Amino acid sequence: MDLQLTGKLALVSGSTAGIGFSIAQALAREGARVIVNGRTEAAVEHAVAQLRSASGSTAAEGFAGDLSTAEAAEDLARRFPDVEILVNNLGIFEPKPFEEIPDADWLRFFDVNVLSGVRLARLYLPAMRRRNWGRVIFISSESALQIPAEMIHYGMTKTAQLAVSRGLAEAVAGTGITVNSVLPGPTRSRGVGDFVDALAKAEGKSAEAVEQEFFLKMRPSSLIRRFASTEEVASLVAYVASPLASATTGAALRVDGGVLRSAV
Ligand code: NAD
């Protein structure tokens, strides 16, 4: 299937590693021009080089900046005003008992996971409206609907993304712009891989044993009973970004390995 993405300009926030990098790669392979983002020049340069060699595309560019800040978002929009596909992927997680989550963490999680995407959508929407075409995709999580007791602040931000995404889809009704959220389940990204490896080391177990235990105890409803790969998540995002997905908007689309038990 040709996703008809050739020449489209896409930005993926937080894309030097993990799910974001795989999304950038999937879009580049489909011919899109992709802007890769991370916080340091070195990480961004490395990811752009990796992307160019893996996708055979020379159209990858980089933007180093912390997109949880307004300054970086505005700087990005000045440098790349014509983004047509905005993938708000940037997100952080940290298991912490509720009683130990201070105000500062609640605010930081909101800034990084929610406000970063809100700002970018606000900056890029006027040009999308002028063009009467655009894609805004929020990378939320199954945790938006199944709030993890071990990181309620993270769950709060992922639910908030669903609200923003649906509201924005309503606000652009009748245009060629679509707004959706994608809900990955447990996915072996760099962040999750590091977390599993650290846990395995601390408990003197193999990473495989930790993975098995995780699905047995923490996510027993998973139907695939393993972490998804970042590429599996990226495939869905690439489709949603495509002109072919023009009737899919205002939706919360799952790539969660069946973790969420309800059928809809
Ligand atoms: P990751 O930690 O593997 O990668 C995150 C990327 O973002 C890295 O490139 C990192 O350098 C970059 N980054 C972090 N803070 C940044 C900032 N302030 N500014 C710019 N770049 C920054 O993350 P991941 O696991 O791939 O998660 C990506 C998204 O997917 C997140 O929104 C996360 O909530 C969501 N998600 C992940 C999983 C999972 O199991 N991995 C499940 C559901 C949803």
Tell me, yes or no, whether 182 and 192 share the same domain.
no
Q: What is the mean pLDDT of residues 3-31?
A: 97
3-state helix, strand, coil in the chain (%, to 5): 50, 15, 35
Q: Residue 46 pLDDT > 80, yes or no? A: yes
Report the candidate in 87, 22, 85, 9 with the shortest Cα–Cα distance to residue 54: 22
Tell me how far the alpha carbon of residue 133 lies from the centroid of ligand 1, in angstroms.
Answer: 27
pLDDT of the residue at 264: 83
Instruction: Give the DSSP H or E segment for 144.
Output: none
- Residue 201 domain flag: yes
d(Cα 159, Cα 258) in Å, to the nearest integer? Answer: 18
Say if residue 234 is in the same domain as residue 202. no
Total domain count, the chain: 2
Does the beta carbon of 257 lie inside 6 Å of ligand 1? no
Give the helix ranges, DSSP H, for the chain.
18-29, 41-55, 70-79, 103-110, 116-131, 152-171, 190-203, 207-213, 230-241
Q: Which of 48, 88, 143, 189 to mutate to test the pocket of ligand 1 (most atoms within 8 A of CB)?
A: 189
Instruction: Assess whether 218 and 241 both reside in one domain.
Output: no
pLDDT, mean of residues 59-85: 97
Contact predicate 150/186, CB 8 Å: no
pLDDT in the model for residue 57: 73
Concerning whether 124 is annotated as a catalytic residue, the answer is: no
> Are 141 and 205 within one domain?
no
Question: Is pLDDT at 15 greater than 90 in this prediction?
Answer: yes
Same domain, 61 and 164: yes
> Going by C-beta distance under 8 Å and a sequence separation of 6 or more, which residues neighbour residue 246?
176, 178
Instruction: Give a yes or no: residue 264 inside a domain.
Output: no
- Residue 88, ligand 1, Cβ within 6 A: no
Shared domain check, 205 and 91: no
Is 151 within the bounds of a domain? yes
Q: Are residues 18 and 69 in the same domain?
A: yes
Print the domain residue range for 222.
188-227
Helix (H, G, I), strand (E, B) or coil at 40: coil
Question: 32-68 in b/e burial notation, b at 16+ Cβ within 10 A?
Answer: bbbbbbbbeeebbebbbebbeeebebebbbbbbbbbb
Q: Is residue 137 included in any domain, yes or no?
A: yes
Does a structural domain hold residue 1? no
66 and 29: one domain? yes
Does ligand 1 lie within 6 Å of residue 67's CB atom?
yes
- Residue 54 is predicted with a pLDDT of 84
CB atoms closer than 10 angstroms to residue 110? 17
Q: Are residues 137 and 33 in the same domain?
A: yes
Residue 132 Ramachandran class (φ > 0 left, ψ -120 to 50 alpha, else beta): left
Q: Enter the pTM of the model.
A: 0.96
Residue 240 CB contacts under 8 Å (≥ 6 apart), including other chains: 135, 137, 178, 180, 182, 248, 253
87 and 199 fall within a common domain:
no
User: Is the same domain home to 73 and 202?
Assistant: no
Lowest mean pLDDT among 41-45, 84-88, 198-202, 248-252: 198-202
For 91-142, the pLDDT digits (tens) are 999 999 999 999 999 999 999 999 999 999 999 999 999 999 999 999 999 9
Chain mean pLDDT for the chain: 96
Residue 260 lies in a domain: no
Q: Are 183 and 197 in a shared domain?
A: no
In-domain check, residue 148: yes
Average pLDDT over residues 16-28: 97
Q: What is the CATH number of the domain that holds 169?
A: 3.40.50.720
Task: Assess if residue 263 is contained within a domain.
Answer: no
Find the range with the poorest average confidence among 5-19, 45-59, 115-129, 218-232: 45-59
Q: With cut-offs at 50, 70 and 90, classify the pLDDT of residue 58.
A: confident
